[in-house]
Chain A
Amino acid sequence: MAARILGWLALVALLAGLGAAFGYAPREAVQGNVQRIVYLHVPAVLTAYLAFALVFVGSLGYLLTRRPGWDRLALSAAEPGVVFTGITIASGSIWGKPTWGTWWTWDARLTSTAVLFLVYVGYLLLRGMIDEPDRRARAAAVVGILGAANIPIVHFSVSWWRALHQPSAMIGPGSAPYPWWMKAVILLNFAAFALLLGYFVARRAEIARLEDMHAG
């Protein structure tokens, strides 16, 4: 029930966000329409962070209470989290291509996000390798907790590292600050993605619950 409401809200918000990204936001002078990808790129990475925060909460919850519901939350958030991370990387890459001429640069956000991607793909791989529910949940929880605790550390280390090697910043992927209306559209899309995340998590958790019931 909750999932369905979230789903509809997400759809409405996504349409609004899409409209704002293409209709309301102006075309950027230097980069052209490709710059609009920021309205996908930044909300995606923010939503990924939100997803991994949920993984952290679920992991902690399971270790403290041993109730499977928490583990299901962690799993259900990790999968879309990885997807949103992938979207962040892909959109960043696509954005960078016309601007910088290459598909990949070791730009701070892109690199951090790539590391995050690797961490949580590892999380999902680990889950796939353990059959026993309690052991799987415990092992995943430990990785989920360390992964989340590592996010700020990764962020700082990569930014500093990049600052050593990066020429002066230019408007493009990874640069800030954004004018107020850009922030507004980004926020709108973030809200839409967050609702979408909520929808995915709710649905996936329900499937997981049914799977557990069937197995037990």
Chain B
Amino acid sequence: MIATGLDARRGPMRPLPASDLMVQAEHLRKTYGPTRVLDDVSLALGPGEGLTLLGPNGTGKTTLLRILATLQRPTAGTLRIGGVDALKEPEAVRGVVDMVGHGTWVYEDLTAIENLRFWTTLGGHDAARPRLRAALESVELDTVADQRARTFSAGMKRRLALARVLLGRGRLLLLDEPFTGLDRAGRKWLGEFLMAFKAQGGALIVATHSFDAGVGVADRVAILAGGRVVLDRPAAELGLDDLRRLYDELAAGPGTAP
């Protein structure tokens, strides 16, 4: 494994039954009454791979991520994470999946380091102070370690969430619009963070409608439109311009000819 600064702080990955694929979702469907939010979505992702899920807002990206995180159950379909049936045994899967979504899980009355101490202990991980501080350093929040999170900007809260991820032992990271609210330096930083995560064998899925930032970390790109995956290709195959054109066409909806 490449020894980056992040490595040493992460600790050993939690052992799992051997499996080729990190995520194996097949024919997922989610309906809310008459509304079909997701329709026949299938995905496969291996360790060390990054998938960027593109799609306009409201097309089910968040719902899909939440299903993958075992926060919601699909109406139909199967889901295996790390070789384990996530629908039958969500418990077994939860230690392996980390999600950084719209809510950043930050208690505003607690300081940065107290927040980390809470989530790390709740997750059953070692919450020794030096370890927490090191994680804060990695996300460049060590200067505000003892400041209450109420004063943090959105970007800082997201970095705190990533520090939380560092302290866990997740192998699958799901990120929902992680680039919003970050400036150029922040995006660059996040991109590097995600690349290092992949380099360690972690898999990630980034859902975003922000085109440029999201594609950088991707090994594969998928487009979600109308609740269906309308494109799923290795990123290397597509040039950025082609991808943009396809995205505009496909995301406009069915019935518009490519």
Q: Do A and B bind each other?
A: yes
Instruction: Judge whether A216 and B31 touch: CB under 8 Å.
Output: yes
Cα–Cα distance between A132 and B71 once the two chains are bound (Å): 14
Interface residues on B, range: under 10
When distances are taken between beta carbons in the complex, the residues of chain B under 8 Å from A215 are 33-34
**Per-residue contact bits, chain B 8-41, to A (CB 8 Å; 1 contact, 0 not):** 0000000000000000000000011110000000
The reply to whether B32 and A216 contact each other, CB–CB distance below 8 Å, is no
Contact residues in A for B75 (Cβ distance below 8 Å): 216
A134 to B67, CA, bound (A): 14
**Contact across chains for B32 and A132 when beta carbons are under 8 A apart:** yes
Chain A: minimal CB distance from B26 (Å): 19
Cβ < 8 Å to B, chain A residues 130-181: 131-132, 134
- Shortest distance in angstroms between B33's beta carbon and chain A's nearest beta carbon? 6
B34 to chain A, nearest CB (A): 7
| Smallest Cβ-Cβ distance to B29: which chain A residue | A216
Q: Could you mark each residue 102-144 of chain A with 1 if its beta carbon is under 8 Å from any beta carbon of chain B, else 0?
A: 0000000000000000000000000000011010000000000
User: Once bound together, how far apart are the Cα atoms of A131 and B31, in whole Å?
Assistant: 12
Shortest Cβ distance from residue B169 to the other chain A in the assembled complex, whole angstroms: 28
Is there contact, CB below 8 Å, between A131 and B33?
Answer: yes
Instruction: Give the docked Cα–Cα distance between A134 and B75 (Å).
Output: 10
Chain B nearest CB, measured from A115 CB (Å): 34
Which residues of chain A in 184-216 are interfacial with respect to chain B, using CB atoms and an 8 Å cutoff?
215-216
Task: With both chains docked as a complex, state the minimum distance between the C-beta of B78 and any C-beta of chain A, in angstroms.
Answer: 14
Task: Return chain A residues, CB-CB under 8 Å to B31.
Answer: 216
Is B158 located at the chain interface by the 8 A CB criterion?
A: no
Q: How far is the CA of A216 from the CA of B29 in the complex (A)?
A: 11
How far is B34's CA from A216's CA once the two chains are assembled, in angstroms?
7
Provide the residues of chain A in CB contact with B73, threshold 8 Å: 134
Point out the residues of chain A lying under 8 angstroms from B34, CB to CB.
215
A216 proximity list for chain B (CB < 8 A):
31, 75
B33 nearest in chain A by CB position: A215
Give the nearest-CB partner of A132 in chain B. B32
How distant is A85 from chain B, measured CB to nearest CB, in Å?
31
Bound together, the chains give a CA A215 to CA B36 distance in angstroms of 11
The minimal Cβ–Cβ distance linking A172 to chain B, given in whole angstroms, is 51
> Which residues from chain A sit less than 8 Å from chain B, CB to CB?
131-132, 134, 215-216
8 contacts across the A-B interface (CB closer than 8 A): A131-B32, A131-B33, A132-B32, A134-B73, A215-B33, A215-B34, A216-B31, A216-B75
Q: Which 6 pairs from chain A and chain B are nearest by CB?
A: A215-B33, A134-B73, A216-B31, A216-B75, A131-B33, A132-B32
